[in-house]
């Protein structure tokens, strides 16, 4: 079976439509409307394979950016390596490219819709069939296959035999596959020569599987439940499922090898990567202080003001500088939380958007941003959907967006009506960008009760009795920065947001925030056992032992800390050295 995209879209109308003629809203509309393709069988395509010549020695790279997700990081990585970028605006730009990079982001059907309606699909096939230097990233790899099951079946470009399917979560594997995993090199891949046994960063829910029909393409695999295709190479054509622009210095070496095949990288640092690593995440709570400056602060049970006469906002540094330092220190991800976002209009928060833009210029690990991502109407009566708000954050450098209060409201509505409206920010954004791009941030507090039948929410038996001798507790969700409690438990919320399209849960705890006594293991175990998506443990870390404890006692995929990193009480490298000593795999 083969996709039909390369042969079917030849009308002059589609060829004349360029990316530059599409507004952001029209791109979003295109991506939302592509769900009804009919698959057709065709004879296999014959590709002309040339030896890798390395003849593209110029400093210009052509980038196929179809308007979805965070492509800024790819741009920054290319520029960081000393190359200039020319954007594809018409199909002819693809055919005239010396080197083409296609950083596909988002959902398969949405991407194919844009490619076909702009006339890019046929040009892309012609370029690749002629063995021109090509690098596809993530979805840029998946689109080369016959078809995908994502919102489908949906036709792909039909260049590589195979169907892109969803990961199987039945064996306890979390879906999406998010984090730093190891590669098994299958053959001479050229662009992977400098990796060594190091981790690279993946974030996806769908993957292509190796088979006899596509084995001549496969240059490396990765194991997550099964062995899936991590990269392909045939002649000058390369594609990777992982994100080199988010894989630190290892990923930059992949891009450097593609851009200049004759380059000689330094001898790769040998690692011990063998499987998906546990992630250590640095979080930066960002807000404007009383002088109007954007600062990194840290709360004590969500109170960010100093306990002094001046009662000023706690200032622990500048966001861009701290993020850059954490990248150098080995943080696996950096998370920004705009803690005034629930009050202010986020698209009017230009300083926060600038923080993302500047950070992504030199920080090549994933960036998450949260705070106020919801539908808005500004002072002039102009309505902005949460999808438009999220799109601006993605275009400014975010890889994932974090939704807090709005996810609570959506979950409450769903529990009441049992109807998925598709209108919540969570549903809108995950539909267009994929659930791997959406994190739900949960801010619960412990509420003690005498018995499990005292409330309608999931309770736990507590190891230590409550203030009045209570033996049970439930976790009440809050909104507006922990200021308002809601009638929904963290367990119930987690189950619902997974169903609505969340790809990851950031699990905070108001009781433990800023206390330095360790994560709330009971809460994290409760939630990580309840869902099949990754859970990030947050709030309470004060020592390296707290990280090993949460990984050994719960199914958390990552652990996040803020204050202990800001105040240099516990360095990130100390955390990782301790985890390695305890036999827990981490990226080094």
Return the active site residues.
Answer: 138, 243, 245, 285, 443
Is residue 317 annotated as involved in ligand binding? no
HEC assignment per residue over 354-401: HHHHHHCCCCCCCEEEECCCCCEECCCCCEECHHHHHHHHHHCCCCEE
Count CA atoms within 13 Å of residue 123 on its CB side: 26
Strand 237-240 vs strand 134-138: parallel, antiparallel, or unpaired? parallel
**How many Cβ atoms are within 10 Å of 518's Cβ, its own excluded?**
17
87: β partners: 63
DSSP state string for 61-96:
EEE---S-S--HHHHHHHHHTT-EEEE--SHHHHHT
Instruction: State the Cα–Cα distance between residues 240 and 305, nearest whole angstrom.
Output: 46
Is residue 372 annotated as involved in ligand binding? yes
DSSP state string for 150-180:
TTSSEE---SEEEEEEEPP-TTS--SSEEEE
Two structure tokens written together for 37: 């393709």
Instruction: State the Cα–Cα distance between residues 277 and 180, nearest whole angstrom.
Output: 6
Helix (H, G, I), strand (E, B), or coil: what is residue 305? strand
Is residue 222 annotated as involved in ligand binding? no
Closest by CA position to 560, among listed 292, 399, 289, 332? 332
Instruction: State the Cα–Cα distance between residues 282 and 276, nearest whole angstrom.
Output: 19
Closest by CA position to 556, among listed 570, 541, 568? 541
Torsion sign, CA atoms 181, 187, 192, 198: positive
Instruction: State the Cα–Cα distance between residues 241 and 192, nearest whole angstrom.
Output: 13
Instruction: State the Cα–Cα distance between residues 494 and 125, nearest whole angstrom.
Output: 42
What's the chain's length in residues? 588
Contact 507, 481 (CB under 8 A): no
Instruction: State the Cα–Cα distance between residues 71 and 103, nearest whole angstrom.
Output: 7
Quickly list H helices, 445-489.
none
- Please, which residues have CB within 8 angstroms of residue 292's CB and are 6 or more apart in sequence? none
CA 179 to chain centre: 9
Q: Dihedral, CA atoms, 298, 303, 308, 312, nearest 10 degrees?
A: 70
Contact 284, 211 (CB under 8 A): no
Torsion sign, CA atoms 303, 308, 309, 310: negative
Put the strands of the sheet holding 154-155 in their side by side order. 154-155, 145-148, 160-166, 206-207
Q: Which residues line the annotated binding site for L-glutamine?
A: 138
Q: Which residues line the annotated binding site for substrate?
A: 372, 508
Q: Which residues line the annotated binding site?
A: 138, 372, 508
């Amino acid at each position: 079976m083969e996709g039909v995209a390369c042969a079917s879209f030849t009308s002059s109308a589609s060829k004349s439509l360029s990316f530059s003629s599409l507004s952001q809203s029209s791109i979003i509309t295109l991506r939302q409307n592509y769900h009804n393709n009919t698959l057709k069988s065709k004879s296999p395509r014959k590709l002309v394979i040339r030896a890798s010549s390395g003849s593209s020695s110029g400093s210009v790279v052509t980038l196929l950016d179809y308007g979805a997700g965070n492509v800024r990081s790819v741009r920054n990585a290319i520029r960081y390596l000393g190359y200039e970028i020319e954007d594809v605006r018409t199909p002819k730009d693809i055919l005239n490219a010396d080197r083409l990079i296609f950083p596909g982001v988002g959902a398969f059907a949405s991407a194919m819709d844009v490619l076909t309606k702009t006339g890019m699909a046929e040009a892309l096939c012609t370029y690749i069939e002629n063995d021109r230097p090509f690098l596809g990233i993530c979805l840029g790899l998946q689109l080369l296959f016959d078809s995908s099951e994502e919102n489908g079946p949906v036709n792909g470009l039909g260049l590589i035999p195979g169907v892109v399917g969803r990961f199987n979560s039945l064996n306890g594997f979390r879906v999406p596959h998010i984090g730093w995993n190891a590669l098994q090199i299958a053959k001479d891949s050229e662009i992977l020569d400098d990796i060594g046994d190091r981790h690279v960063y993946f974030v996806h829910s769908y993957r292509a599987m190796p088979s006899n029909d596509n084995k001549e393409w496969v240059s490396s695999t990765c194991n997550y439940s099964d062995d899936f295709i991590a990269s392909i190479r045939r002649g000058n054509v390369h594609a990777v499922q992982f994100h080199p622009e988010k894989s630190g210095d290892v990923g930059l070496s992949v891009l450097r090898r593609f851009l200049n095949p004759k380059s000689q990288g330094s001898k790769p640092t040998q690692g011990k990567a063998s499987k998906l690593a546990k992630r250590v995440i640095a979080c930066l709570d960002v807000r404007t202080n009383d002088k109007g400056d954007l600062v990194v602060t840290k709360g004590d049970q969500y109170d960010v003001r100093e306990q002094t006469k001046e009662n000023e906002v706690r200032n622990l540094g500048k966001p861009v500088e701290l993020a850059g330092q954490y990248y150098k220190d080995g943080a696996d991800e950096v998370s920004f939380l705009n803690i005034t976002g629930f009050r202010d209009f986020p698209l009017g928060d230009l300083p926060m958007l600038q923080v993302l833009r500047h950070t992504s210029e030199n920080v090549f690990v994933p960036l998450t941003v949260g705070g106020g991502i919801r539908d808005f109407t500004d002072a002039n009566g102009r309505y902005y959907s949460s999808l438009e708000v999220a799109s601006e954050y993605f275009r400014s450098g975010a890889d994932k967006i974090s939704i807090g209060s709005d996810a609570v409201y959506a979950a409450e509505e769903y529990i009441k009506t049992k109807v998925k409206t598709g209108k919540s920010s969570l549903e809108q954004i995950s539909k267009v960008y994929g659930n791997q791009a959406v994190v739900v941030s949960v801010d619960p507090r412990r509420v003690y009760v005498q018995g499990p039948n005292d409330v309608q929410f999931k309770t736990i038996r507590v190891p230590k009795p409550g203030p009045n001798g209570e033996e049970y507790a439930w976790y009440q969700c809050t909104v507006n920065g922990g200021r308002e409690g809601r009638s929904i438990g963290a367990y119930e919320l987690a189950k619902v947001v997974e169903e609505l399209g969340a790809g990851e849960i950031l699990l905070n705890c108001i009781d433990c925030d800023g206390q330095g006594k360790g994560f709330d293991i009971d809460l994290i175990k409760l939630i990580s056992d309840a869902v099949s998506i990754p859970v990030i443990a947050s709030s309470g870390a004060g020592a390296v032992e707290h990280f090993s404890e949460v990984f050994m006692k719960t199914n958390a995929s990552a652990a996040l800390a803020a204050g202990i990193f800001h105040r240099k009480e516990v360095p990130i490298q100390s955390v990782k050295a301790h985890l390695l000593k305890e036999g827990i795999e981490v990226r080094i």
